[in-house]
Chain A
Amino acid sequence: MKPTDIRNPEYFHKVIDCQYACPSHTPVPEYLRLIAEGRYADAYMINWHSNVFPGVLGRICDRPCEPACRRGRVDREPVAICRLKRVAADFKDAVKARMPQIPKEKNGKRVALIGGGPASLTVARDLMPLGYQVDLYDEQSAVGGFMRSQVPSFRLPLEVLDEEIDYILDMGVNTFLNCRITSLKEFLQKGYDAVFIGTGAPRGRDLPTLKGRQEGDDHIHVGIEWLAAVAYGHIDTIGATTLVIGGGNTAMDCCRMARRLGGKDVRVVIRGSRAKMNASPWEIEDALKEDIPIIEGLSPLEFVVRDGRLIGMHFAKGGDQENPVFIACDEVLLAVGQQNAFTWIEKELGLKLKNHWLPVIDEATLQSTLPQVFFGGDAALGPKNVITAVALGHQAAISIDLYCRGLDLKVRPAPGITLSSQKMGVHDWIYDSQVTDDARQRVPTVETVKSIQDRMLEVELGFDKKSGRTEAQRCLNCDVQTVFSFADCIECDACADICPTSCINFINNGEEEDLRSRLAMPAKNTSQDLYVSDVLKTGRVMVKDENVCLHCGLCAERCPTAAWEMVKCFYDCAKAGQ
């Protein structure tokens, strides 16, 4: 193999598993260290720059970072990154003064945002400090989109959401609420320099052709719309026996909300098996804790209506339509997916749609076939999650800024990289290199009896400062990189000997597959890179398998010639205007 080019910013970025897995590439280890030091506001701001909604995401993020966490590969469970984000939000002091200054003098460019969800708000956050005039349109009476209408309050309290939305609106965003855009053609006549569409994936899928759907309509609801109705106070009760159809996170929200609105016997019915459910494992766990059974392998056949009232449903078990299974119920919530709908986009505008719910866009720039129109969030790529919406918002803001300045959208700004040596003394590091043995801390929750009675009561209480610190210190500091200088190495083997996880090898070079098989511990995880040095004096090369490196710094501590160095790599994903 050729020597690894560590000057490529993506090499170290990939070593920081959590940050690499995060759609908006939040510098996780950096803010976890700040939490461990009790610097909550600093930790919050690092988050805020990257993911815009730390308090919200600290509760409801899909956390792609946690399955990626290196700790999960050496310990029983990964670091509770998501809930630590909440610690930063919960314990920070005032941060408003740290927010960027908004220029009084505008740059003369006007940008419209259609839909007030996380993607649009991110675009606003990124463009306001650059001097743009930003107008936000939403059909609801309050901004927040999915986060407000479809995430129940027992998971995300309103005040947390309002606080973080207000940070953005207070920058001077012009909001046009209760304002549904019915024609893009008419809208474009307002003469905006760029239009961003972040209308989300608001329409839940129905089962319109299933027998009994019309007759039982009063007691059959599309889950996501039902959740919105609950959030806005239009619905406050539900039948004692409720079936929730579907196995995604929306289904989990529906069933838990149904329990809070008086549902005594709430059951979830899924087509496939538990193991293949789309819902996140922790969401499933929370539902099970609230005595909600999940029934596997049943496909809906018919809504059974007697005397004009829904009395239950028939299901086919394992495709057997001849002997349907009957489950009695008073009410059904359908959570079988979401769809976009762009009925308000006229065909003759030249904005091409891929199908009736997704536009044709350039996935890198998010530009549609109509140059001044950009998409983001679920409206761009279909139903994802809040953190992806934020990531797409950042990219759209970059594109809009480049577009308004007449620059090439394909030339994206490079990420910011800051490398800083962690050496403080002969054997001392600036970062806390000690690897703790603590198990993952449990987040305390409100008693189920209490929380079931009040839908506004947040179930999770969050970590306190002490458990937050303990959990933050479980982080392995994967951003503190092991940097090897082959010219200084005397091949004494000290690093290879001390490495707790046997990552470091001094062997003859070869092709990647061959090298992987010849290491002291064969490198079977091919998603993780090998760090290969230039040729050493004995003709061998140093090969380090990045897979389970603990970033403990012992290689550098035991190196007599400082050929190993611990260098912190702060990777800052580019934002608009950089």
Chain B
Amino acid sequence: MTFTRPKFRHPDLPPNALGYTRRDYEGALSTLCAGCGHDSISNAIIQACYELPVEPHRVVKMSGIGCSSKTPAYFLGKSHGFNSVHGRMPAIATGANMANRDLLYLGVSGDGDTASIGLGQFTHVVRRNLNMVYIVMNNGCYGLTKGQDSATADRGSTSKKGTPNPFESIDLCELALQIGAGFVARGFSGDKSQLVPLLKAAMSCRGFSLVDVISPCVTFNNTSASTKSYQYVRDHAEATGTVDLVPPRQEIVTDYQDGATQEVTLHDGSVIFLHKEEGSRSITDRRAAIDALESHRAENRILTGILYCMDDGGDTHEMIKTTLQPLNSILQEDLCPGNAALQQLMEGYR
């Protein structure tokens, strides 16, 4: 078994606009099962951060417990990270975000960590529209404890255990749409050409960005009767459209005259282009997004791509009116100006 990856890379590895090569965004060698969808997502995160580009030291990786929550060790080895208690990542992320609003927060969680033990935390971080990217590596089972059905396993789906799941599933995208997420998308670990632009768009949006990524568990849930297997997802996935993200300050060279292309300009000036079929729903309409999810579900189709995008709908900081300056950089004398200032304040009430 190999525990370290050879240090050699392709000699032509190109640097991005910040001068980093893709190698600067890599992490340690994965210890997950061979063929795990999570590894593909880790690589899509590396690729998205490299392409965007983001500075590795401006990123914070947050995770809980589970196979998915192990992955921050396998990407962005030069970024900050915090591996928290099971299902409690949203609380930690909120705290960190309050302390320093200037960093990019990448929350990585699984279906158990999000939809079971952490569901309460998840719903509340969504309603506050915390400025973060929340990636769910969704394999429909508890892989770390031998593959029991999770809360996102579809009713009737059968894992390696062989018994169809009797319970209704939680659709995290629909839930997030209902309670105020700014950006909602669904991807598939087996389709990086879609997943990388989705992650880039999610990282560019302000507010809570949920990317629910179907990620087959090759060991326990890649059976022919599972709705989260490579084959099933490939056969049943349908994209809302293809996504292009044009970063700020980059000239838009492609001419999108086609009426079926929807543009969404983000707060920082970057533009999301969604090329979709004529007459399909708008991605800035929340109700249409929920409708789309429901109608596809009724037809046993999996809707992927950007489902909803409402950039800058006001994140937690705006809702609670915090100062623009990151709290961790405010000095003691500003926070506690002393007795003279207090006396002056009191004077105003007299």
Stretch at the interface among A138-146, A459-467, A490-498: A490-498
Query: A560 contacts which of B4, B189, B218, B231 (Cβ < 8 Å)?
Result: B218
- What are the residues of chain A within 8 A of B234 when measuring CB–CB? 537-538
Q: List 25 A-B contacts (CB under 8 A).
A: A74-B8, A428-B1, A435-B6, A435-B8, A490-B231, A491-B190, A492-B37, A492-B190, A492-B230, A493-B43, A493-B192, A494-B39, A497-B39, A498-B30, A500-B5, A502-B10, A502-B13, A521-B12, A537-B234, A554-B6, A558-B30, A558-B34, A558-B35, A560-B36, A561-B35
Which segment, of A21-29, A264-272, A415-423, A545-553, faces chain B?
A545-553
A2 interface hit (Cβ, 8 Å): no
Interface of A is mostly: loop
Task: Find out whether the CB atom of B36 lies under 8 angstroms from the CB atom of A494.
Answer: yes
Asked, given contacts A490-B230, A492-B190, whether A501 binds B9 with beta carbons under 8 Å apart, the answer is yes
CB < 8 Å: which of B5, B10, B190, B222 contacts A498?
Answer: B5
B35 vs chain A, min Cβ distance (A): 3
Decide if the interface of chain B is mainly helix, strand, loop or mixed: loop
How would residues 158 to 173 of chain B score, 1 for a CB under 8 Å from any chain A CB and 0 otherwise? 0000000000000000
A559 touching B34, Cβ below 8 Å:
yes
With A492-B216, A494-B36 known to touch, is A427 a contact of B11 (CB < 8 Å)? no
Q: Quick check: A498 and B230 within 8 Å, CB to CB?
A: no
Residues of A within 8 A of B8 (CB): 74-75, 435, 500-501, 548, 550
**B2 at the A interface (CB under 8 A):** yes
Answer yes or no: A434 CB below 8 A from chain B CBs: yes
Can you name the residue of chain A whose Cβ is closest to the Cβ of B216? A492
Residues of A within 8 A of B33 (CB): 560
Residues of A within 8 A of B190 (CB): 491-493
Interface residues of A in 423-438 (CB under 8 A from B): 426-428, 433-435, 437
User: What residues on A are CB-neighbors of B42 within 8 Å?
Assistant: 497
CB-CB nearest in chain B for A550: B6
In the docked arrangement, what's the CA distance between A157 and B216, Å? 64
Decide if A524 is an interface residue (CB 8 Å cutoff): yes
Known contacts: A501-B9, A501-B10. The answer to whether A434 contacts B35 by CB under 8 A is no
Tell me whether A73 is interfacial, beta carbon within 8 Å.
yes
Q: Distance (Å) between the CB of B12 and the closest chain A CB? A: 6
Contact code string B21-56 (vs A, CB < 8 Å = 1, else 0): 000000001100111110110110000000000000
A253 at the A/B interface (Cβ < 8 Å)?
Answer: no
What's the Cα separation between A501 and B216 when bound, in Å?
Answer: 25
Instruction: Specify which of A74, A490, A538 lies most central, judged by the most chain B CB atoms within 10 Å of its CB.
Output: A490
A484 to chain B, nearest CB (A): 15
A218 to chain B, nearest CB (A): 55
- Interchain CA distance A74-B192 in the complex, whole Å: 27
Q: How far is the CA of A143 from the CA of B230 in the complex (A)?
A: 68
B9 touches A500 (CB 8 A): yes
Complex contacts, B5 vs chain A, CB 8 Å: 498, 500, 552, 554
**Neighbouring A residues of B218 by C-beta, 8 Å:** 490, 492, 560
Say whether B249 faces chain A, with CB atoms less than 8 Å apart. Answer: no
Q: How far is the CA of A556 from the CA of B190 in the complex (A)?
A: 18
- Interface membership of B350, Cβ < 8 A: no
Instruction: Knowing A492-B35, A492-B230 are in contact, say whether A521-B40 is a contact too (CB < 8 A).
Output: no
Using an 8 Å CB-CB cutoff, how does the interface string of A549-578 with B read, 1 for contact, 0 for none?
010111001111100000000000000000
Q: Give B contacts to A, CB under 8 Å.
A: 1-2, 4-13, 29-30, 33-37, 39-40, 42-43, 189-190, 192, 216, 218, 222, 230-231, 234
- Whether B43 lies near A497 (C-beta < 8 A) is yes
Closest A residue, CB atoms, query B8: A74
- Bitwise, A72-89 to B at CB < 8 A (1) or not (0) is 011100000000000000
Per the bound structure, the CA–CA distance linking A502 and B222 in Å amounts to 26
Contact A521 B13 (CB under 8 A): yes
Knowing A500-B5, A552-B6, A560-B33 touch, does A74 contact B11 (C-beta < 8 A)? yes
Q: How far is the CB of A480 from chain B (nearest CB, A)?
A: 14
Q: How far is the CA of A498 from the CA of B39 in the complex (A)?
A: 9
Most buried by B among A503, A553, A557: A557
10 extra A-B contacts, CB within 8 A, seeds A434-B6, A497-B42:
A73-B11, A435-B7, A492-B218, A497-B40, A500-B5, A500-B8, A548-B8, A554-B6, A558-B34, A561-B35
Known A559-B34, A559-B35; contact A493-B40, beta-carbon cutoff 8 A: yes
**Are B10 and A494 in contact (CB-based, < 8 A)?**
no
Cβ A434 vs Cβ B2 within 8 A: yes
Chain A 468-508 near chain B by CB (<8 Å), digits 1 or 0: 00000000000000000000001111100110111100000
A493-B192, A494-B39, A497-B43 as given contacts; A557 in contact with B9, CB under 8 Å: no
Residue in B9, B40, B42, B43 with the greatest tally of chain A CB atoms within 10 Å: B9
Residues of A within 8 A of B29 (CB): 498
Chain B's nearest CB lies how many Å from the CB of A473?
Answer: 13
How far apart sit A73 and B10, CA to CA, in the bound complex (Å)?
9
B7 to chain A, nearest CB (A): 6
Which B residues lie within 8 Å of A497 (CB)?
Answer: 39-40, 42-43
B2 contacts A554, C-beta separation under 8 Å: yes
